[in-house]
Chains A and B, each alone.
Chain A
Amino acid sequence: MQKRVVITGAGVIGPIGKTASENWKNAISGICGIRRMTIVNPEDFTSQIAGEVKDFDPLDYLDRKVAKRTDRYTQFAMVAAREAFAESGIENNIDPTRLGVIIGSGIGGITTLEREHKVALERGVSRINPFFCPMMIGNIAAGRVGIDVGAKGLNFSTVTACASSGHAIAIAVDMIKLGRVDAILAGGSEAPLTLTGVGGFCQLKALSTRNDDPQTASRPFDRDRDGFVLSEGGAVIMLEELDHAVKRGAGIIAEVSGSGMTCDAFHITAPAENGEGSARAMKLAMQDAGIEPEDVGYINAHGTSTLLNDINETKAIITALGTAKAMRTPVSSTKSVTGHMLGAAGAIEAIFTAFALRDGILPPTATLQNPGEGCVLDYVPGEARKADIMYALSNSLGFGGHNVTIALKKYSGK
C-alpha cells in the first residue's frame, strides 16, 4: 500500500512572528509585517518597504561561533528547523540515518557574498574570510540543519526562486513515499534584503512602490496592486511517514497527500498565458492526492500582488477547478501580511494551509479591498473565515517558469 506522509512539526521565523503559532495568530488576525526598510538604507531604492524579521539577534538562538559563520539565510533556516524538530518530538525516536533534510533558497548567502566582495575590492583577495564559500553557498542551510539536529539521511537543497520550498516539500513527500527515509525536515529560507538583492528586484519593476503606506502595499488581487513586497525569513516542517508518526504517538498537524510540478517553458519571469503551467500543477496535485476539483475546500494562492501573477493565477484556478467550482472555492494570499519571502514562501504557506485544515479557519487576503479586473474569485478579503474543510491546495510559482502545487488533507485520526 502507498505510504502516507504527515506533518508532525512546524517552524517559522518571519515578518509576522518568530514561531509558527505566532505567525498563524497574526496571519488570521490580518496583522501585517511590512514597514520601511531598516536592514539596508532604503533611500536609493524605488521600493523602500520590506517584511523584515524584527529584532533578530542570532545569539538568541545560536552559539557565537556558529552565528559568526552562518549567513542570515542559514540562521533563519536553523531557527525554523529547530522549532519543527522540537515540536515533532522525533529526537531519539528515529534512526538518524533515516532522517533527511531538504531546504531550499532562491538565492543563498547574498549578504555574505556582498560583504566579502567588498572586502576583496577594498583590501585585496587575500583578506576574503576563509569561511566565505561555506557561508555563502545555497545548500549550506540544509547542511547546517543536518549538523544541528544530527540528521544523517538524504540532505540537499532545491533552487527554484519563489517555488524553492514548495519543491522542497513536494520532493520530500515523494522521498518518504519511496521509502528512502522515514522523515524529512523540509522547507526554505531567504535573506534577500541587501543592496543588490533589493536593487535587483527594483530594477525588474517587480516591487511595490507604495512607500507611504507599507501596511497595505502587498495587496494581492486588488485593483490597486502595484507589485510585491520583499520579505525574509525561514519556514520548515517535519514530514513523517504516517505509520512511523502514529507508532511513536506523534501529534499530527495535517497530511500532505500529493503534489504537482510543471514548467511553463514560456518566459523567464512572466507566467504563461492564462496560467497554463500553474493550472497543470494544480491538476497533477489533485490527481496525485486522489481527489477531484469538487473536494478542494481552499487554495492558498501564490498571490504575489503583481499585475501578471494575480490575474494569471486566477485564470489557472478556473482552468484547474472548472468555472463553477472555482467561483465557490475560497482562495487567499497570506502574502498580504507576510510580503514575499521568496525561497521561504512555499513552506510558510504550506504551514498556513495545514493550520487552516487543522483549525477550520481560512486566513484572509487581509489587504484586499477592491478586486482587480479579472480577479473574480472569492479571495477571503479582509477577515479570516471559519470553514471546516477536508482538502486544500497551496501554490508556489517561481522565476524560470517553475510551478508547484502541494495538496494537503485534514488529519482526522485515520
Chain B
Amino acid sequence: MSLESRVTEIIIDKLGVKPEQVTVEAQFDTDLGADSIDQYELIMGFEDAFGLRIDEDEATQLTTVGKVIEYLRAKDLDK
C-alpha cells in the first residue's frame, strides 16, 4: 500500500471522516473537524503505524494531509 493510502486510512479511522474529504490540501482542524486532542491522537496513530516518534514542535507544523505525507516521505519511509 502506498504511503498516501496508509495516511488516508489512518485519518479516516481516527477522525471518522469520508475518504473523499481526505484531500492533500485538507486542514485537519477546519476541513476535517479535528480538535487539538483529535490531532494529538492522529499523530500517535502515525507514530504507531510508521514506527517513529514525532516531536511536539514538528507535530504542530503538520496541519494538512499533504504536510503529513511530505513529512513522512522525507523520513524515507516510502519504500
Contact = CB atoms under 8 A, between A and B. Distances in A.
Interface residues of A, number: 8
A63 B16 CA distance: 8
Contact of A127 (B15, B16, B37, B44): B44
A307 B7 CA distance: 57
Interface string A23-65: 0000000000000000000000000000000000000000111
A266 interface: no
Contact of A130 (B15, B16, B40): B40
A68 B44 contact: no
Nearest to B42: A130
Majority SS at the chain B contact face = helix
Nearest to A128: B44
Contacts, number: 15
Given A127-B44, A130-B44, A65 B15 contact: yes
Interface string B28-49: 0000000001001100100010
Nearest to B34: A65
Contacts of B40: 130
Nearest to A65: B16
A130 B48 CA distance: 14
Contact of A129 (B15, B16, B41): B41
A131 B16 contact: no
Nearest to B36: A130
Interface of A: 63-65, 68, 127, 129-131
Interface of B: 15-16, 37, 40-41, 44, 48
15 contacts: A63-B16, A64-B16, A65-B15, A65-B16, A68-B16, A127-B44, A127-B48, A129-B41, A129-B44, A130-B37, A130-B40, A130-B41, A130-B44, A131-B37, A131-B41
